[in-house]
Amino acid sequence: MTRRRIFLPEFKAQVVLEVISGARTAAAVCREHRLKPQLLSEWKARFLENAANAFQEGTRLREAQARIADLERLVGRQALELEVAKKALSISGSPSNRSEGW
């Protein structure tokens, strides 16, 4: 059984850039790396579809950082609530002490 080769994104980008820049022909790249022309065409199409993302000025990064900040605030709030609950429990006494006082 033949195993499929796995190509790193950096390799795919390098190969596509060679073809797009005109440094090498698609046929030459396919021969050298033993790629099917259809696979290279798919990589090229995906590359060109996502080219605009390179100029989004970190929109996704900012969204992810905002989400992380929200989650950190939530964790902080929950930690504070837990500390308050622990302190209230220690002030009111343990459940066994309360039952003895009655």
Q: What is the pLDDT of residue 1?
A: 73
**Predicted TM-score of the model (pTM):** 0.54
Q: What is the pLDDT of residue 85?
A: 94
**What angle (nearest 5°) sits at the alpha carbon of residue 95, between those of residues 90 and 96?**
115
Q: What is the pLDDT of residue 75?
A: 97
Q: Which two tokens stand for residue 73?
A: 């605030």
Average pLDDT by stretches of 10, the chain with 102 residues? 89 95 95 96 94 78 91 96 94 65 52
Place of tokens 């309360």: 98
Domain extent listing, the chain: 7-55, 57-94
How many whole angstroms separate alpha carbon 82 and alpha carbon 43?
51
